Amino acid sequence: MTIKELRQLNEVEQGKILQESRKKLRELRFKAARRDSDRLKIPYG
What's the domain count of the chain? Answer: 1
Q: What global pTM score does this model have? A: 0.56
- pLDDT for residue 39 is more than 80: no
Q: Name the residue range of residue 7's domain.
A: 1-45
Among candidate residues 37, 40, 17, the one with its CA nearest the CA of residue 9: 17
DSSP 42: -
Q: How confident is the model at residue 42 (pLDDT cuts 50, 70, 90)?
A: low
Question: pLDDT by residue (tens digit) across 3-33?
Answer: 999 999 999 999 999 999 999 999 999 998 8
Phi, psi values for residue 7, rounded to 5°: -65, -45
